[in-house]
Amino acid sequence: MSSEKIVVCGGGGFIGGHLVADLLRQGRRDIRSVDIKPVKEWYQHSAKVENLQLDLQEKAACERALEGAHTVYNLGADMGGMGFIENNRALCMLSVLINTHLCMAAKKHGVQRYFYASSACVYAADKQTSPDVTALKESDAYPAMPEDGYGWEKLFSERMCRHFREDFGLTARVARYHNVYGPYGTYDGGREKAPAAVCRKVIRAKLSGKHEIEIWGDGHQTRSFMYIDDCLKGTQAILASDILEPINLGSSEIVSINGLVDIVEGIAGIKLKRTYNLSAPKGVNGRNSDNTLIKKYLGWEPGIRLRDGLEKTYQWIYGEMTQR
């Protein structure tokens, strides 16, 4: 297996960078990492792998990226946190070109295993109207009513993978990620997700002495957050499995945004005055991962406690913010 070429698309991003590093730790050496950003702007990169700057929305770039590939991880997408996806729906939809052209290139080059990173944003909005949400099971994606823009692209691309598997024999596996977080990720600039944003805001309040924090929404909206190490383990296990349908990959530990702030305040050793921006993007009122299927298929589910993952994330962001 170690001699078979692995291609990580979106390798300059948060999850992709961690995946490349994890594959190297496992002794894999024939790795190609591909991203649209210049290599010097990648979240992580290693001289031990082939690093390519390519725009995977282009068909020719996808064919170049997948030359000689045995295994492909498609983590490439133009995306970010709720603030980004609510205000950039067309850009999110254009990521459909990435998966479409990668599937075509995978068929052309005889790729043996293909992974597509989908999202919990595919789930129907009418099942996420209350903070006291019932955990979402895989069948809740239909009848379709996903997050506008980003969610529709993910749901369509799931179907693309399914039909390439059914019609052309591409061994495609799909995981629906639920809010992945951890070190070496975006924490400011508009694309960051809630855990990193809250860490940044708490750190800034602590460093500035202005003990206040603005929370998007009323703080009662609920989510689950999966630490990057669980994401990496689950992603590789799903790709290696016989699971044909899209499957949840997320923590089932639910928390409100207020509760998330509580945890980060505890890590920082500080209490902040909270103000609530009710006009800011906040997404659905409640979302959690039903892990019945992944436990059935893999005998495992993401289990790293939110507090433990947040502590590592907070320390990394603190170091980034204080070394400038």
Q: Which residues pair with 180 in a beta bridge?
A: 226
Residue type, 153: E
CA nearest to 206, candidates 277, 269, 274: 269
CA nearest to 111, candidates 154, 163, 170: 170
What does 84-140 look like in DSSP terms, one character per residue? HHTT-HHHHHTTHHHHHHHHHHHHHHT-SEEEEEEEGGGS-GGGSSSSSPPPBPGGG
The SS3 call for residue 209 is coil
Q: Which residues pair with 113 in a beta bridge?
A: 71
Tokens encoding 298: 């893999």
The CA distance from 26 to 28, in Å, is 6
Strand blocks (E) in 149-239: 172-177, 180-181, 212-216, 222-224, 226-227
Torsion of CA 188, 194, 197, 199, to 10 degrees: -140
Angle of helix 194-208 versus helix 306-322 axis, rounded to 10: 50
Active-site positions read 150
CA nearest to 245, candidates 292, 311, 205, 195: 292
The CA distance from 198 to 219, in Å, is 12
CA nearest to 228, candidates 294, 179, 291, 182: 182
